[in-house]
Structure formats: structure tokens, C-alpha cells
Amino acid sequence: MSFSHAWLPYIYLYAVGGSLFIIGIIITIKSGSLDLKRAHHRVWLTVLIFGLIWFMVMHVLWNLAALEILTLKTSAIIWTIFMVVSLGIGYFKFGRQEKI
């Protein structure tokens, strides 16, 4: 499969989508809806940014498996490790905080 069929949609999706995501975050910060002085708001900003990165990694893993650059088994193992690490970080970083 050619580069234009395999990777240009991925690049377009995350270039345009990422730009809109960043613009949206900037608008919410400037409007005062997202106050970075508040710990709870910083947590949500972290979750949003990590979510975007998480989807990018998952998307690239499955693209690599579909193109047979990585085997499906290797992609699944990397995906599982990434999931365990992500959930562990999420739990230990955010799940054990005191409720406000």
C-alpha cells in the first residue's frame, strides 16, 4: 500500500484534529472556563492531552499491524503493555487523590 493511502489520512487526522484540539484548549483557557490555578482543572487538562496521545499511539499500532510492518501479535502485546501502564499511571496519579 502506498504512503498516500496508508499514512496521509493519519497525518491529516492528527494535524487538523490536533490543531482544532489545541485551539479549543486555548479558547477555554482564555475564556476562564479552564483555570490552571485549580488542581482539578489541571487534572482534566492532563487527561485530555493524554487521551489525544493515547489515541494517536493506538491508531499507529493498528496501522502498523494492518500494513504488516508489525505482526498483529506484536501490536497486541505493545497495546496491552501501553494499556496497563496507562491505567496504572491514571490510578496512582489521579485515583488515589483526596476528594475535594
Give the model confidence (pLDDT) of 4-43 as tens digits.
788 899 999 999 999 999 999 999 999 989 888 998 898 8
pTM of this structure: 0.73
In a domain, 70, yes or no: yes
pLDDT at 39: 86
Minimal CA–CA distance to 20: which of 52, 63, 58, 59?
A: 52
Identify the DSSP state of 92.
I
**35 inside domain:** yes
Contact in structure between 85 and 76 (CB atoms under 8 Å): no
Q: Which residues contact 97 (CB under 8 A, 6 or more apart)?
A: 43
Does a structural domain hold residue 60? yes
Average pLDDT, the chain: 86
Residue 100 lies in a domain: no
- Asked if residue 44 is part of any domain, the answer here is yes
Domain count, the chain: 1
Residue 75 lies in a domain: yes
- Average pLDDT value for residue range 39-49: 88
Answer yes or no: is 67 within a domain: yes
Residue at 82 is within a domain: yes
Domain that includes residue 40, residue range: 3-95
